[in-house]
């Protein structure tokens, strides 16, 4: 790659980091308003529907995991944009994003339905048939494993570099 292409790539990585920050902050703020602030205000003022905050927070938990994944990938893109080597940033990002997607998928499929049943907010089965949540969980597991492979490749490369 020529230096101009490298500079363009780094600039785009920095832009992606900015986009990830914007997404996490804006979506996180909207979720906080919808699931926490507005119901609390309605409960305090006595106007509007009376809704419990806990079921809403439980319902939002997978999205929080997914937003952490977006934050993690944005952080890695920012590090690459600042000139850090791609392999170390990539392996850490793959592991964090993978864990975030696995946690969000497990929460979506198993935890949300069962926790809502536990707090008395829902009735039904023990498993929520959420195909997107299942797919994201499986993709997250694969990303986590790929992060481990990149770590092992980095270690093997370092060992080979020491031999030379």
Its pTM stands at: 0.84
Query: Quick one: tokens of 77?
Result: 């893109």
Q: What is the pLDDT of residues 105-137, one digit of tens each?
A: 999 988 888 888 888 877 777 777 889 999 999
**d(C-alpha 123, C-alpha 139), whole Å:** 29
Segment (H or E) for 32: helix 3-32
Instruction: State whether residue 147 is helix, strand or coil.
Output: helix
Tokens found for residue 108: 């979506």
Q: What are the distances in angstroms from CA 73 to CA 23, 36, 88?
A: 12, 26, 13
* Overall average pLDDT of the 2-17 stretch: 93
pLDDT of residue 31: 93
Q: Hunting for tokens 């790659």 — which residue is that?
A: 1
């Amino acid at each position: 790659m020529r230096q101009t292409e490298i500079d363009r790539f780094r600039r785009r990585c920095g832009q992606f980091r900015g986009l990830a920050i914007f997404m996490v902050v804006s979506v996180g703020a909207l979720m906080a308003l919808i699931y926490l602030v507005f119901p609390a205000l309605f409960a305090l003022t006595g106007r509007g529907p009376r809704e419990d905050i806990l079921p809403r927070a439980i319902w939002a938990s997978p999205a929080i995991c997914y937003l952490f994944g977006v934050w993690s990938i944005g952080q890695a893109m920012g590090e690459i944009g600042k000139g850090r080597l791609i392999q170390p940033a990539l392996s850490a990002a793959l592991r964090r994003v993978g864990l975030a997607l696995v946690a969000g998928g497990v929460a979506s499929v198993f935890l949300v339905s069962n926790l809502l049943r536990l707090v008395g907010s829902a009735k039904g089965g023990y498993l929520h048939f959420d195909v997107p949540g299942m797919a994201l969980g499986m993709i997250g597991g694969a990303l986590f494993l790929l992060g481990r492979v990149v770590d092992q490749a980095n270690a093997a490369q370092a060992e080979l570099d020491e031999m030379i």
